Structure 1
């Protein structure tokens, strides 16, 4: 079978998320649940469909940025839609400033996305009196012209106001100062005028319910907002109960740092209803003892080869490795050094493709890996080495501070096996001469 270069290049783009609802993209999906410690999508789905079909649920989902959460959430969306749910999926980072987010921002972004989806896919147009009055007040106190005709749909009103304030940080701060004290009334209005009406309209049309999947909230900046509180802690712990009170099924992505917070139990109780967040770990290219994980490596090979041959079955793809790489050892080299991080692996392949057409040579791969390793080393500060060496020895991460230093910077990855959670160093970093020297002194 001939490798078609243009579709292959497009499929390798690491910024592209697979949409399982699209029949053309569905073949690119690889199911890693067998090596990730469980079927995360099925768990989220069962909670909505089986355990609480008629009552709102709030579920939390986390993992490394770039590990494949968005792909899994889009798979959840497709599965729920097959069961006749109306599912609203949106990337919050497109509507919100991840460095300066408030509770009212998140609530209004959800209301806008739900309203947008109902208008575009179900023909349901919502007129919300509370928000009509609120928009008029906003126009007045902002003292800036906003084109908003009377009786405009909710989504249009929110879009016009947020677009105007995005252009001007001063206006944005004024808007936030005005809306935050009204969070409770905004929440009630969303439940009564948006979600309540939406649920009634949808059920009248035979739908089983409304599900809102709020992606990319894990990208909220971990900046301090008080001497003792980061922005994610303030939003999801201090104000989490408000996020959990929307009258529909909710799935939120949250920063992985919160799993290591001293107030993790408070997070579970206030936002997760006492249920622990579901965490999507890395794909194990190797086991705890450093030896290859055969099943993990096999699936990582397929992650790359399916981009080249989506219409073939897995065994047939293996027979065509020579169309993509100069040897089986070269594809394995890429898989191992990625540490099982999906976006990193695709990013390494994409960088190779920017330098040469397939079959990709081992020399090209080694050059790309070397540059990747040097980029990681540039970000490392001397005091962080001690933490890395401790994690390598103990395979554990303790506390939020260590997480921020190690996991968010991708110096360390998280995995899951039958023994539980464990942590390993980024393989590209482990190969560096600097690490080897420090490890010899540390382990002596």
Structure 2
């Protein structure tokens, strides 16, 4: 294969690149019923039907297509022929440091900022230059009146002038992400005046929704994506997760707004919540009894062909073995889309094609080493063996709860949906001798498929 062609295919298989619904590589997975529901419909219906503001929580492992579903949801809710809402889409990755603890003030200040910008844009104004007497300007003025010292942290900006207020507003999200001093100061102010702050944000959002309605919209809906990526570092993941639990648990009372809102949350939090959390499951390649689910394998084959055309696939895997090679990849992945794309990229790094069965088996095993290392480090092998056997995520003590959080966040435990929800271990882990589980390991999956 020519180098330029190989390079093109390699970059088409970037596992960290989220796809828009209109991307030619995107597969509408839910048309085939392999994730237990049509997820755009599931998320949209409550918002479409409710006459009062809805607060929804949504999660899923990174790389399962969650952001694509949220973009589909935004398109549907903003459709003038349907709900006709002004949609505010916020990507936490762009505006927050997701390696540190999160606070109510971070989320609400950013919601106010982005909603103001969306309304201004809809009105024909400049969304990048929010009005000095707008909601965010009033928020900054309130913070400055409450603590005069905070203005000093906006370097070179006179917050008493119109230009200064505009400059402070324009940089607020940047400061919250990159300036821990400003972030901490804002948090301290809000903590002392939480009720006043929340009431202020709600009043401003009501005004912004009124302005959206004047434009002919049915209201405002806020979609706050990528908060599920809150994970900290190897040393801070636990306090970061606990900070998210503090603001999202017990019905997220301070995050319920006078407009419709959907938040993504870390997957590990879903099992701790009393209120419903929509959890985007994996593509089902096996059922809860371990039986093959052909429809799921077919969807994965379609996903592969959207990334790499048929002629290139035949060159990479060999025409006669192509079907079996894709099947082996599907079974090894556990139906995890990002793993499939990541593995394709890894295989494209090889120097010799076609990839034979032994080479594929070796690469599958190597890719599984990262998961097995996480299991060994967790110190929870006996409990994980129970999960492997029962397909249920049941914890009875703090050690097991901590292990569940860690293994969910690191994709060792995968979630599925049939008529009922169930979990399974990543196939590269399920076959470990220490777990004595019935699921096949990578080698068995390759052999079973004829690789």
Shift in CA distance, 152/339, structure 1 to aligned 2, threshold 3 Å: farther
SS at match of 1:282: coil
Q: What's the counterpart of residue 141 of structure 1? A: 149
Q: What's the counterpart of residue 313 of structure 1? A: none
- CA apart distance, 1:283: 0.8
Once the two structures are superposed, what CA deviation does each residue of 1:328-387 show, in whole Å capped at 9, x if it has no partner?
A: 211111111111111111111122223358765545533432221112222223632212
Quick one: distance in 2 between partners of 1:121 and 1:19?
A: 22
2:442 is aligned with 1:430: no
Contact conserved, 1:260 with 1:403, CA < 8 A, in 2?
no
Once the two structures are superposed, what CA deviation does each residue of 1:127-182 show, in whole Å capped at 9, x if it has no partner?
A: 13632413544884133324266346988534424434655434432332123223
Of 214, 230, 246 in structure 2, the residue corresponding to residue 234 of structure 1 is 246
Question: How many corresponding residue pairs?
Answer: 408
Quick one: distance in 2 between partners of 1:440 and 1:136?
A: 59
Quick one: distance in 1 between partners of 2:229 and 2:28?
A: 24
2:314 is aligned with 1:322: yes
* Aligned counterparts, 1:142-221, within 5 A: 142=150, 143-144=152-153, 145-147=155-157, 150-151=161-162, 157-164=168-175, 166-193=177-204, 195-221=205-231
Of 372, 381, 398 in structure 2, the residue corresponding to residue 377 of structure 1 is 372
TM-score by length of 1: 0.81
Quick one: distance in 1 between partners of 2:123 and 2:350?
A: 46
- CA apart distance, 1:293: 0.8
Contact conserved, 1:112 with 1:154, CA < 8 A, in 2?
no
Contact conserved, 2:332 with 2:427, CA < 8 A, in 1?
yes
TM-score by length of 2: 0.80
Q: What's the counterpart of residue 43 of structure 1? A: 42
Shift in CA distance, 171/239, structure 1 to aligned 2, threshold 3 Å: farther
SS at match of 2:417: strand
Quick one: distance in 2 between partners of 1:287 and 1:103?
A: 40
SS at match of 1:413: strand
Contact conserved, 2:105 with 2:186, CA < 8 A, in 1?
no
Quick one: distance in 2 between partners of 1:48 and 1:218?
A: 21
Quick one: distance in 2 between partners of 1:169 and 1:372?
A: 37
Contact conserved, 1:213 with 1:251, CA < 8 A, in 2?
yes
- CA apart distance, 1:218: 1.9
Which residues of structure 2 form unaligned runs of 5+? 396-400, 439-451
* Aligned counterparts, 1:199-348, within 5 A: 199-221=209-231, 230-237=242-249, 240-244=252-256, 246-261=257-272, 264-265=273-274, 268=275, 276-309=276-309, 321-323=313-315, 325-326=317-318, 327-348=322-343
- CA apart distance, 1:430: 3.1
Contact conserved, 1:30 with 1:302, CA < 8 A, in 2?
no
Aligned-residue CA RMSD (Å): 3.2
Q: What's the counterpart of residue 412 of structure 2? A: 411
* Aligned counterparts, 1:49-64, within 5 A: 49=48, 51-52=49-50, 54-64=51-61
Q: What's the counterpart of residue 27 of structure 2? A: 29
Which residues of structure 1 form unaligned runs of 5+? 269-275, 310-316
- CA apart distance, 1:259: 2.8
Shift in CA distance, 394/10, structure 1 to aligned 2, threshold 3 Å: same
Quick one: distance in 1 between partners of 2:435 and 2:57?
A: 38
Quick one: distance in 2 between partners of 1:289 and 1:241?
A: 39
Once the two structures are superposed, what CA deviation does each residue of 1:295-315 show, in whole Å capped at 9, x if it has no partner?
A: 010001111111235xxxxxx
SS at match of 1:328: helix
Shift in CA distance, 173/136, structure 1 to aligned 2, threshold 3 Å: closer
- CA apart distance, 1:280: 1.0
